Amino acid sequence: MNLLRNPGPVYGQLLVVIGAALISLSPVFVVLSGVSATASAFYRMALSLPPLLLLLIFIRGKIWLGARQCGIALLASIFYTLDLTCWHQSILLIGPGLATILGNFQVFVLAAFSVLVLHTRVTPRLILAIPVSIIGLYLICGVQWSTASDGFQVGVLLALTTAFWYGGYVLFLRLLQTSFDLEGKIANLCMISILTTIITGLVVIGSGDGFDVPSVDSWLYLTAYAIICQVIAWLLISAGLPFTSVTVLGVVITLGAIYLGSTSTSPGEKSES
């Protein structure tokens, strides 16, 4: 617990890296769960609540930390709902690897915020990364765009939209977590989980998808998804985020996505299934 309370710059970055690596497993759980995109987002949040609340009780923390905290958590939850909904749907349409790679264009959303709002210096690496990424995006998706299925095209657009929503979520989370101790960080995660559970639940109802879970195995995958990718990963990231550049998240997850992309179904094959 002491490491999570005040990890410092070195261990803080390590916690973010480990947390981001765990999040890179998310697409695998989404596919294996066998539930709809919106339902998987709902269960990720709903099933994360019991362990988070138990942890908060164990450390004797309190969930209500003021109206400002609740307001920022609500904004974070809205962005997170849009992120999860778009991303999960893109995973089912174009596969876990490609969906995660495209979603991690959020690196440029965070970089733009750093430059325009925080007035961070524009580095040569960033200048080089932009055209290289655009060329890479064209080679991955643009070459086959005119002959690709409608599902593939929609999946690509959803994954790119995810980049904006996810970048916004990370920024709100960083704003929320920077001024709190460990008890406050866990309380904030509880608040985000509660609000996002409510919002994603409304999305499921509004979309008509339903909350059906097909099997016991699906429940196990959804539970593992919630505990590993929501509770553990975001607890580690929340502890390390105040000491870390926000762009580190995208870099690490993208590395995991490249691995997933190299071992999963290709976009062309996925769009024909």
* Model confidence pLDDT, tens digit, residues 74-124: 999 999 999 988 988 888 888 877 777 777 777 667 666 666 665 566 666
* Alpha carbons 32 and 23: distance in angstroms, whole number: 15
State the pLDDT at residue 174: 81
For residue 270, being part of any structural domain is answered with no
Q: Is the pLDDT of residue 223 over 90?
A: yes
What is the three-class DSSP state of 139? helix
Q: Which residue type sits at 92?
A: L
Structural domains counted in the chain: 1
SS3 state at 144: coil
Q: What is the pLDDT of residue 113?
A: 65
pLDDT greater than 70 at residue 136:
no
Q: Within a domain: residue 42?
A: yes
Identify whether the C-beta of residue 77 lies closer than 8 Å to the C-beta of residue 192.
yes
* Domain membership flag for residue 130: yes
pLDDT above 50 (res 270): no
pLDDT more than 70, % of the chain: 73
Residue 54: CB partners within 8 Å, gap ≥ 6? none
Angstrom distance (rounded) from CA 272 to CA 138: 20
Q: Which tokens belong to 122?
A: 């524009």
Inside any domain, residue 40 = yes
Q: Is residue 17 included in any domain, yes or no?
A: yes
Place of tokens 């109206």: 67
Residues 7-14 have a mean pLDDT of 76
Q: Which has the higher per-residue pLDDT, 2 or 163?
A: 163
Which tokens hold the place of 35?
Answer: 């539930």
Cα–Cα dist 58/50, whole Å: 12
Residue 48 lies in a domain: yes
Half-sphere exposure of 62 (CA within 13 A, CB side): 4
Which tops the pLDDT comparison, 263 or 40?
Answer: 40
Calculate the average pLDDT of the chain: 78
* Residue numbers of the domain that contains 170: 12-265
Cβ neighbours of 245 (radius 10 Å) = 14
**Nearest of 25, 99, 132, 101 to residue 254 by alpha carbon:** 101
Does 30 map to a domain? yes
Express each pLDDT in 158-174 by its tens digit.
988 988 898 888 888 88
DSSP character at residue 63: S
Confidence of residue 224 (pLDDT cuts 50, 70, 90): very high
Residue 262: predicted pLDDT: 39
- Give me the mean pLDDT over the 253-265 stretch: 45
What does the block give as tokens for 126?
């960033």
Task: Determine which of 35-44, 95-104, 124-133, 257-266 has the lowest per-residue pLDDT on average.
Answer: 257-266
DSSP assignment, residue 231? Answer: I
Q: How many residues make up the chain in this entry? A: 273
Q: Is 70 exceeded by the pLDDT of residue 147? A: yes
Q: Which two tokens stand for residue 183?
A: 């008890």
Burial 55-90 (b: 16+ CB within 10 A, else e): bbeeeebebebeeebeebbbbbbbbbbbbbbbbbbb
Asked whether residue 22 is domain-assigned, the answer is: yes
